[in-house]
Amino acid sequence: AVALDGRGHPLVGVARNAAQLAETADIIRAAGGRMVARPADVSDPAAVAAMASFVHEQLGPPSILVNAAGVFGPIALIRDSDPAAWLETVMIDGIAPYFTIRAFVGGMVDAGWGRIVNITSAASLHPPGALNSAYATAKVALNQLTRHVAAEVAFDETERLDRPPRRRTQHQVGLVPVRPHMRPHPRRRIATALVQRPVVIGDGGDFVSYAGRVIETFEPGTWMDPGPFGCLGAGPGQAI
């Protein structure tokens, strides 16, 4: 929000927690900007519809939508998990972006320019683990939703926000090819450089997420990482 305000974009902040929303508005106000606050639960389709009407009344059709709402969900085996908490996580992290995109993408297409930023997670790239099924499932769904939206409106899903708008008619937007792709990752270079039978230590975070997909190990006990709870900085200790 602060970065968008710094680029001169009018803002509407949306969150369930009115106090935290007011705190963000105060930060932007202190920097000389302005954010209109709208407390709402984006996992509720009626609340999203009311919020969309509010946004159009206050600022008109938005050109940038950032889906950043998220909760982590129950840290438990599926058989031991709380169904209400599990569903809440999937609704907020995976379904709510559909509600907000549905509310605003038409205005972007009609205007000939728009950006939708979906905040996903490296958890969607992990091999499935035993404890965070709701969060990872929701983020995988969000990744696929992003691809579907890109295909429908024919925008490149990797396009940068700071590029200037390219004016297009609605018909022309539908003809622009989508070229979704993954940029080459330096961990692929590691994979090609390893000799056979290495002991690989994944030092938490994104390294484990990406390296686990591209680095092949050959025997049990030759891949070490911090486990499902994570522990950044674990690598040096394991190496010693």
3-state SS string for the chain: CHHHHHCCCCEEEEECCHHHHHHHHHHHHHCCCCEEEEECCCCCHHHHHHHHHHHHHHHCCCCEEEECCCCCCCCCCHHHCCHHHHHHHHHHHHHHHHHHHHHHHHHHHHHCCCEEEECCCHHHCCCCCCCCHHHHHHHHHHHHHHHHHHHHHCCCCCCCCCCCCCCCCHHHHCCCCCCCCCCCCHHHHHHHHCCCCCCEECCCHHHHHHHHHHCCCCCCCCEECCCCCCCCCHHHHHHC
Q: Which residues are catalytically annotated?
A: 135
CB 28 within 8 A of CB 5: yes
Please tell me the number of Cα atoms within 13 Å of 123 on its side-chain side: 25
The dihedrals phi and psi of 90, each to the nearest 5 degrees, come to -65, -40
Listed residue (68, 89, 58, 60) closest to 24, CA to CA: 68
Please tell me the number of Cα atoms within 13 Å of 200 on its side-chain side: 23
